[in-house]
Amino acid sequence: MAKLVLKSAIRNPQSEIRNRSMPIEIEKKYRLTKARRDAIEGRLREIGASSRPIEFEENTLYSGGRLDFGGCALRLRRVNDRAILTFKRRFPSKATIKHQQEEETHVSDADATNAILSALGFQPALIYEKRRTRWKVDNAEVTMDELPFGLFMEIEASEKDIARVEKLLDIADLPAVMETYPTLTAKVGKNRNGIIEARFKKARRR
């Protein structure tokens, strides 16, 4: 199981990237209209990109310890018939392309994992649902996301490959979204019994 380091003091995150071997997620996020999403998906088909079936996700973010939605996050994701436990820590930056530590592992029982986290003092604080379609463009992953508060796209790859995919998809004019899905959920979600939620009215579960 991946090790989750929740209480280590971080003095210089950029130095840590250079000096330690750790999984680093590099991505850029964009907000879309429906017309723009359709156009981009059409372009993806034109260039021969392959896609996977739509995934329905329920993402639960926990509070406790040194977790906060802007810097660190502990997430339990239920996607179709799978579950993934993830710890993320974003490195401070004003750049549109974000770098963050990402430690994750698949878990066989989401309910048992939730019970373990609760027993350790972590409590569900925020839940958001998402419908995601994954596209593969060479070394990059392009995801089309539908959330209760809008349509988004993410490109996950090296900075060089992100720039290349932007040119392929002709999206240089698209503004980058700096906020994460949890922080957006915190702004627009509804408080239900102390948990902030952003859910579809009629979620399509598979």
Q: Domain locations in the chain?
A: 24-198
What pLDDT, in 10s, does the model give residues 10-66?
A: 334 444 444 446 789 999 999 999 999 999 999 999 999 999 999 999 999 999 876
Q: Report CA dihedral (122, 124, 127, 131) to the nearest 10 degrees.
A: 60
Confidence of residue 69 (pLDDT cuts 50, 70, 90): low
Q: 24-198: CATH homologous superfamily?
A: Hypothetical Protein Pfu-838710-001 (2.40.320.10)
